[in-house]
Amino acid sequence: MIRREIMNNFLVLVPSEIEAEAIKELNLDMYIIGIGLVEAILNSYKIFIEKKPKLVFLTGLAGAYPKSNLDIGNIVVATEEIWVDFGRKYKIHYTLPENLFNSNSVSFDKRWIKKTCSILNECGLYSFSGPLATVCAASYDFQRAEFIEKKYHVLAENMEGFGVAKVAFQFNVNLIEIRIISNLLSEPEKEWNFEKALFRLNETWKCLINNWK
């Protein structure tokens, strides 16, 4: 039986109707923020102002980098979000603009990461944790994916994480990001496996709802 009383304790943000449809039956306090960095920043900012949350989950799908050893349906809890295509792109390397004090990364609180992974593990849902990449365009180019993975040591990529993390940091709000692998960047020609990834997303949230305290 789902513990409805925890629903008022946190907000859940999803990028699109696709993720929302997969977990709508759970009656979460859920908001669609849009796909991509700009939409995610604008909409999460408005939500944070209106709702004044203390704890927020960002949850959705992600593409796994070639050497991550991740597979379709794997659960990834972010330890850090890195905006990987911000800066100067040269032929063989990437650098941040000189003399700018902009940060291209946001780290997450280890206590929340540990709690989330522990709860999932108790449900028999093993999760991976590590840094994620925020991109403005999904990597359908193997060489690009390989380059990003090697430079930033990231597990998977998405298009919203850094933006929401930056907003949460500005509002001093605790953010937990959970992604389900829907595609492998080593196989860009293959269709995303929405069915398997969204089923796991539903399983993940049933577990969290029933066990979060």
45-95 pLDDT per residue, tens:
999 999 999 999 999 999 999 999 999 999 999 999 999 988 777 766 667
Checking if the pLDDT of 197 tops 60, the result is: yes
Alpha-carbon distances of 100 from 14, 78, 155, 165, 170, rounded to whole Å: 31, 26, 27, 20, 19
Please compute the mean of the pLDDT values over residues 9-13 and round it to a whole number. Answer: 93
Give pLDDT, residue 58: 99
Checking if the pLDDT of 4 tops 60, the result is: no
Specify the residue for token string 């991109």.
135
Return all residues near 156 (Cβ < 8 A) that are at least 6 apart.
Answer: 62, 63, 64, 65, 68, 70, 76, 132, 133, 179, 181
Residue 191: both structure tokens together: 């269709």
Domain 8-211: assigned CATH number: 3.40.50.1580
pLDDT band at 1 (very low <50, low <70, confident <90, very high): very low
Give pLDDT, residue 2: 47
Checking if the pLDDT of 202 tops 70, the result is: yes
Give pLDDT, residue 107: 98
Domain coordinates in residue numbering, the chain: 8-211
Checking if the pLDDT of 9 tops 90, the result is: no
Checking if the pLDDT of 171 tops 60, the result is: yes
Q: What is the chain's mean pLDDT, rounded? A: 93
Is the pTM higher than 0.85?
A: yes
Checking if the pLDDT of 5 tops 60, the result is: no
Please compute the mean of the pLDDT values over residues 129-148 and round it to a whole number. Answer: 94
CA distance 211 to 213: 6
Asked whether 135 and 94 are in contact (CB, 8 A), the reply is no
pLDDT band at 213 (very low <50, low <70, confident <90, very high): confident
Residue 91: both structure tokens together: 């032929």
